[in-house]
Amino acid sequence: MPALNFDDRVVIVTGAGNGLGRSHALAFAARGARVVVNDLGGSATGEGRDASAADRVVAEIIATGGEAVANHDSVTDGGRIVECALDNFGRVDVLVNNAGILRDKAFHNMTDEDWDLVYNVHVRGAYSVSHAAWPYLREQEYGRLIFTASAAGIYGNFGQANYSMAKLGLHGLAQTLAIEGAKRNIVANTIAPIAGSRMTATIMPPQIVEQLKPAFVTPLVLKLCHESQRDGGGLYEVGAGWMGKLRWERSKGHGFPVSAPLTPEDVVAQWERITDFTDADHPASGQAALMSMIGNLQNR
Ligand code: NAI
């Protein structure tokens, strides 16, 4: 198995001052990439800023003979982060959208500010950096992007309405970028990680936080960002030394005759079939999903 290396690649990792982002940045640099270590350096709930978070990681990389530069802008200023890559290294090849915050509250206690801030950092931020990088990736016909989702987005989680919305939204964004980028060798994928970090330290016992090393997540990120990676639009759960891929599953469903009016009682009568996952389908595209529905128009 040849080693996956990133020589001559320029990699932006957002939120790389701590936790998962730091782990990704160190690993890319150790394998030859020139890395933009972005981090605003705020608290886990998005207050304040502190340049030392990114600076420390850059110092670590340089101390081990790697190449990196710090950037302290918010991901909502994506243009400045991409400019930093271009000014220092002349290009951008890989973007790992990782920066994140939490504003956990039960929905009835959630404020507009909690909602907007989580949306801004995760969704608007990932959009902003990706959108700024996109023309360069298209022009050079090469790009690898990662979006960082969460189990909270896939399954829902009490107290995380804002975060769940943002995290699954990123998978939606990545799926479409994978489609739009395919012709130009731009590959976008999403991970839903679990790792001990200052973010999870508030909700997990210390011995679990200690065991769930970000280093169990990073190798998947590097694999998905390597030039050999061709599949995009995937969603991977990863952590604790385990990783797997998710996909959509749709029941075989039930097609009603289109020649007669359809009533709610008809729906009730077929509810078991509508919700039965025996021999379920796994539509791999919007078109595949639509075609089987449209086919029912022949059901007279
Ligand atoms: P962390 O809090 O250790 O690191 C996040 C970093 O993002 C921090 O250094 C923070 O300063 C930075 N950041 C926050 N807002 C920023 C902004 N506007 N611009 C630039 N940087 C900003 O958290 P962790 O655990 O490493 O999380 C990394 C990503 O993984 C996040 O997107 C998080 O939502 C996601 N995630 C983490 C999980 C875990 O188990 N640790 C679970 C699921 C998702």
Question: The tokens 């008809």 sit on which residue?
Answer: 266
Residue 51 has pLDDT above 90, yes or no: yes
Q: What is the mean pLDDT of the chain?
A: 97
Q: How far is the CA of 15 from the centre of ligand 1 (A)?
A: 6
In this prediction, residues 277-291 reach a mean pLDDT of 95
Residue 194 CA: which ligand 1 atom is closest?
40
Confidence category of residue 14, pLDDT binned at 50, 70, 90:
very high
287: which residues sit within 8 A by CB, 6+ positions away?
A: none
Q: Which of 138, 98, 125, 121 is nearest to 224 (CA)?
A: 98
pLDDT tens digits for 235-266? 999 999 999 999 999 999 999 999 999 999 99
Closest C-alpha to 229, from 140, 143, 131: 143
Question: Is residue 190 within 6 Å of ligand 1 at its C-beta?
Answer: no
Q: How far apart are CA 164 and CA 79, in angstroms?
A: 26
Helix (H, G, I), strand (E, B) or coil at 270: coil
- Report pLDDT for 91: 98
Query: Which pairing describes strands 94-97 and 67-71: parallel, antiparallel, or unpaired?
Result: unpaired
Rounded to the nearest 10 degrees, what angle do helices 19-30 and 218-225 cross at? 50
Is 163 assigned a catalytic role? yes
Task: Name the active-site residue from 127, 142, 155, 163.
Answer: 163
Give all domains of the chain, ordered by start, each with its CATH number.
10-246 (3.40.50.720), 247-300 (1.10.287.4290)
DSSP state of 204: S
- pLDDT given at position 1: 85
> Which atom of ligand 1 is nearest the CA belonging to 102?
34
pLDDT at res. 202: 83
Give the helix/strand (H/E) hosting 172: helix 161-181
pLDDT of residue 263: 98
Q: Is 41's C-beta closer than 6 angstroms to any atom of ligand 1?
A: yes
Q: For the residues 150-164, what does the mean pLDDT come to?
A: 98
Q: Worst-scoring range by mean pLDDT, 75-89, 113-127, 157-171, 279-293?
A: 279-293
Give 82-138 pLDDT, tens digit per residue. 999 999 999 999 999 999 999 999 999 999 999 999 999 999 999 999 999 999 999
Given a cut of 90, whether residue 292 has pLDDT beyond it is no
* pLDDT, average across residues 74-88: 98
On whether the pTM is more than 0.90, the answer is yes
pLDDT of residue 276 exceeding 90, the answer is yes
